[in-house]
Chain A
Amino acid sequence: QKEVEQNSGPLSVPEGAIASLNCTYSDRGSQSFFWYRQYSGKSPELIMFIYSNGDKEDGRFTAQLNKASQYVSLLIRDSQPSDSATYLCAVKGNTPLVFGKGTRLSVIA
């Protein structure tokens, strides 16, 4: 069973701080890595995807991938109260896309 592990949180950060969300995965054959944001009662929406080791930046978001450590993270700079949501890590290899349970982020104004 391929697994994607995330700390369920809640992770609380003050407004303007950096939020760091982490994810580990079990399948070494995983090739594609995704971060989704899901507001309460809403559907997931894609924030970032990353395929190669290293960092990928998009606005206030940075995804980091370390395949050797089977670790992927999402950094949110200048966190805003509107970033408060559950963040889902998803991993794709030669199997169906597997989601983690998500980390609940709370940004305190």
Chain B
Amino acid sequence: EAGVAQSPRYKIIEKRQSVAFWCNPISGHATLYWYQQILGQGPKLLIQFQNNGVVDDSQLPKDRFSAERLKGVDSTLKIQPAKLEDSAVYLCASSDGQAFYEQYFGPGTRLTVT
């Protein structure tokens, strides 16, 4: 079974630029999560989708971050405009239910904002 796929793996941009990350979950997994992990900290949940609906986006900075999951499969997370403090690893995870113990993480995208 293929795991969670993410791209790109690395991205370097200047502040005020835009960037987008892509995630393809494990086949059949209805729930998709985006996390932000700043160096030295634990992951922080940004948004949770159930199929193509949003379950929780309370920690998503909506003035600059947006996410969508069209057709309930793959998902895109966008940052516009980026700030220096957005430098982090962005992790995508998926599960076939809403139980967090079932979630599988992708390899992550490391974003550096200069």
Contact = CB atoms under 8 A, between A and B. Distances in A.
Nearest to B42: A99
| B-side interface mostly | loop
B106 interface: yes
Nearest to B102: A46
A59 interface: no
Interface residues of A, number: 20
A3 B2 CA distance: 34
A101 B42 contact: yes
B40 to A, nearest CB: 7
B43 interface: yes
A43 B107 contact: yes
B48 A100 contact: no
Contacts of A90: 42, 100
B109 to A, nearest CB: 11
A32 B100 contact: yes
A32 to B, nearest CB: 7
Nearest to B40: A101
A88 interface: yes
B14 interface: no
A8 to B, nearest CB: 8
Interface string B52-81: 000010110000000000000000000000
5 contacts: A32-B100, A96-B45, A96-B56, A97-B100, A101-B41
